[in-house]
Amino acid sequence: MLKEADTITHPYWPRNLSIPNYVANDRSMSEILIFLFSVSGILLLATWSLTGRKVSGSRLSGGRRLALCWFTVCGFIHGVIEGWFSLYYTIIPEDQSFLSQLWKEYSKGDSRYAIADNFTVSMETVTACLWGPFSIWIVVAFLYNHSYRFVLQLIVSLGQLYGAVLYFFTEHRDGYIHSEYGHPIYFWFYFVFMNILWIVIPFILIMDSWCQLSACQSMFDKAALKGKSKRS
């Protein structure tokens, strides 16, 4: 923490947080957000177009195509953006690379990223190493109609949901001190909205996987029962 005579040179909360090597961004918030949403939008459109072709003689439903769009964007965010954080978290406050500036901007909503908090480093490293590649694997598995596609969807969605719940709960336990509580952009948009997506959407996909896998098991059980009846 800072001594009383020290000068606060960063925009993060709590205001007495010590980040002695902090260098202010030279990219604006609008530049960073335009990049993030433009790349995400391009990936969404590309995936929507790619998934429009026939898979095993039939076309994927609109809902399934949207799910694959989600996993493509997840692959980008987990693998590239969160992957950057997991590799360079020690130098992000002073680094002026574009993705480091993206993280410094996001840290206005959660300063745990500016100070390389143990939980965020651990969570983001697991997310980047596992859920990033697995998200792309899910897209491939659905495009080629692999039998394990819903198992992968269940595993990744459970991991995402678990990570997001811990993310919110640990900050709740800290009293929401790492953001300007109630700020319309930094708290409600950066911290709440941009993360609650990883609770709502994974929960829907978990239920989808549950229904699909349960239906398959039910069909298998019925077939096994018929086989036993014929042998009798």
The first and second tokens of residue 48, run together, are 């929507």
Task: Give Cα separations from 165 to 30, 91, 219 (angstroms).
Answer: 28, 27, 34
Closest by CA to 83, choosing from 58, 53, 63, 103, is: 103
Q: What is the pLDDT of residues 146-202, one digit of tens each?
A: 999 999 999 999 999 999 999 999 999 999 999 999 999 999 999 999 999 999 999
- Give the pLDDT score at 93: 95
Confidence of residue 4 (pLDDT cuts 50, 70, 90): very low
28 versus 53: the higher-pLDDT residue is 28
Structure tokens at 224: 């096994």
**What 8-state DSSP symbol labels residue 50?**
H
The model's pLDDT over 17-42, given as tens digits with 9 standing for 90+, comes to 999 899 999 999 999 999 999 999 99
Q: Tell me the whole-structure pTM to 2 decimals.
A: 0.90
Q: Which two tokens stand for residue 177?
A: 């001190």
Q: Name the residue ranges covered by the structural domains of the chain.
A: 29-223
pLDDT greater than 70 at residue 3:
no
- Determine the pLDDT at residue 89: 96
Cα separations in angstroms, 89 against 58, 92, 141, 179, 202: 45, 5, 32, 19, 26
> What pLDDT is attached to residue 231?
67
**pLDDT > 90 in the chain, percent:** 83
C-alpha 86/C-alpha 90 separation (Å) is 9
Nearest Cα residue to 145 out of 63, 227, 74, 57:
57
pLDDT of residue 29: 96
